[in-house]
Structure 1
């Protein structure tokens, strides 16, 4: 029988991270697919000072899930502090749908979920609206899990979003496109996020499952056809769990010649010591890093895909 929580990796910038200064830090938490990611980011500088990744049970409805959360918080005692500058909980699942915010009716949120992907009776339905993108993400998650976090962060600086919200806000911050359509693909272990945008305007977003590079390429090809994109005219930025020397990247480059390998998050300030200590590229955690951008207290910084 597996014992949770199980550490994947943990890195702290010890010279600068100071719990007595938690009022100056964003706390970003992402849960989903048996993983919890935690990042502490300094508000004034957007410098990541801590990044923890742990395994949790896959099934959030199982009582062991909340027990594992409690054990995790007992181990990582700093999480119990309540005076963070802001706290964002991001849920990662495929129980979501995008909706034009001008057509959104909050009383009909459960109806949207039923129509899009069904609604578990134990789930709570929430919504987050992107002002710049002029769209809303309606999503659901286990109500008991959400309430567990609400009891720990009772201040009005706590908010709940979907992983897709973080990806969308991150891309809008990073994008420098002013004249042409671009694609961004962020790859996780079993999922790939595909976004099409033009002048920071989100035209398309979806999450696809994949097993092989053939599946992966088929997903991108389908989006290119659906959006009627010209393969030789658009730029594709690819990042996440993919290597530049891999067959998958080589095939992408053949399919879309202007494919670029993205390794940096430009709105984030990451010192070289922190990177070397972690051994992980920050782009692997684009979701948990970008979730702070969804908070109204986040300050605007200039990014840029390069």
Structure 2
């Protein structure tokens, strides 16, 4: 893993996976995906010519609880990291937060983003508003990011901003379509939050994100959502994604309260596309990094 200290970027290479084919001379033919959260900064490289993911880096952030504290780490990251300053064919900057809301196309006006966002969230003076178009949903994902975070990326070349929930939803809908599933519940786990996506009759019924501090918080919120959606937890099947392992307390509680819980298999990670994984990902469980691997759906 990678750790920051207060003054320099201290790299402790635990996860630093780079295919032997990676070369700076070919960077203009690569796409870079950068996912920003208070827990970490992840970077993933796609070789467009071979349709293969060929590199992954992770910078772990400790004790980051505010956007201003996160900004300091982003500034240090941009100063020290070589990839973020390179001339990739495109750089997708993906923000992880729980401040996203979905608006159907029929009601959408790109000049009213702030108004739509205020339906569900208290506005902040520093908010910048953006929207992502869904690949397979007649709607837009509207989200806010503080302007002082956005300004950190002013000098990044060929950049595009996205919210991490957009491909999570798109991927769930694609999976339901490709497997002819009439219903699907995806639960995506991060260190301090989880996202739930519910699909019925191949239509998005619900997306929501919850912060949690304990495993008990996690299961409480999940069961509450199922109850509100009139879904029997003793009959339901949940597909578990993201940063969770079978020996975790969360998984133990899920097996206690949920009828059936399955982990996404590695072969299914990119099943909705023709993209491939380099041999380097044999060393880890790429499912752990599910959300950044789905960012190709935001093109």
Corresponding position: 1:50 with 2:55 = yes
Post-superposition Cα deviations, 1:219-269, rounded to whole Å, max 9, x if no partner, equal: 221222222234455421112232224443243234332321224213452
Q: Work out whether residues 177 and 198 of structure 1, in 8 Å CA contact, stay in contact via their aligned partners in 2.
A: no
Q: Work out whether residues 181 and 234 of structure 1, in 8 Å CA contact, stay in contact via their aligned partners in 2.
A: no
Post-superposition Cα deviations, 1:81-103, rounded to whole Å, max 9, x if no partner, equal: 22x23221111112222222221
The TM-score, its normalising length taken from structure 1, stands at: 0.82
Post-superposition Cα deviations, 1:88-119, rounded to whole Å, max 9, x if no partner, equal: 11111122222222211222211222231112
Corresponding position: 1:139 with 2:140 = no
Q: In the alignment, which of 100, 104, 107 is matched to residue 100 of structure 1?
A: 104
- Equivalent-residue separation in structure 2 for 1:255 and 1:4 (angstroms): 45
Match in the other structure for 1:224: 226
Post-superposition Cα deviations, 1:57-79, rounded to whole Å, max 9, x if no partner, equal: 554436x835x434423432233
Corresponding position: 1:127 with 2:127 = no
Match in the other structure for 1:208: 210
Corresponding position: 1:285 with 2:292 = no
Q: Work out whether residues 183 and 202 of structure 2, in 8 Å CA contact, stay in contact via their aligned partners in 1.
A: no
Asked which structure has the greater RCO (Cα within 8 Å, sep 6+), the reply is 1
Q: Work out whether residues 181 and 202 of structure 2, in 8 Å CA contact, stay in contact via their aligned partners in 1.
A: no
- Equivalent-residue separation in structure 1 for 2:184 and 2:101 (angstroms): 22
Q: Work out whether residues 33 and 292 of structure 2, in 8 Å CA contact, stay in contact via their aligned partners in 1.
A: yes
| CA shift in 2, pair 1:223/1:44, >3 Å | farther
| CA shift in 2, pair 1:36/1:273, >3 Å | closer
Match in the other structure for 2:251: 249
Q: Work out whether residues 196 and 209 of structure 2, in 8 Å CA contact, stay in contact via their aligned partners in 1.
A: yes
5+ residue gaps, structure 1: 296-306
Match in the other structure for 1:159: 160
Q: In the alignment, which of 86, 91, 96 is matched to residue 95 of structure 2?
A: 91
The TM-score, its normalising length taken from structure 2, stands at: 0.84
How far the C-alpha of 1:29 sits from its partner, in A, is 0.7
| CA shift in 2, pair 1:254/1:187, >3 Å | same
Match in the other structure for 2:71: 65
> Between Structure 1 and Structure 2, how many residues are aligned?
286
Q: In the alignment, which of 26, 30, 34 is matched to residue 29 of structure 1?
A: 34
How far the C-alpha of 1:6 sits from its partner, in A, is 5.1
Aligned CA RMSD, in angstroms, stands at 2.6
How far the C-alpha of 1:27 sits from its partner, in A, is 0.6
Q: SS of the residue aligned with 1:151?
A: coil
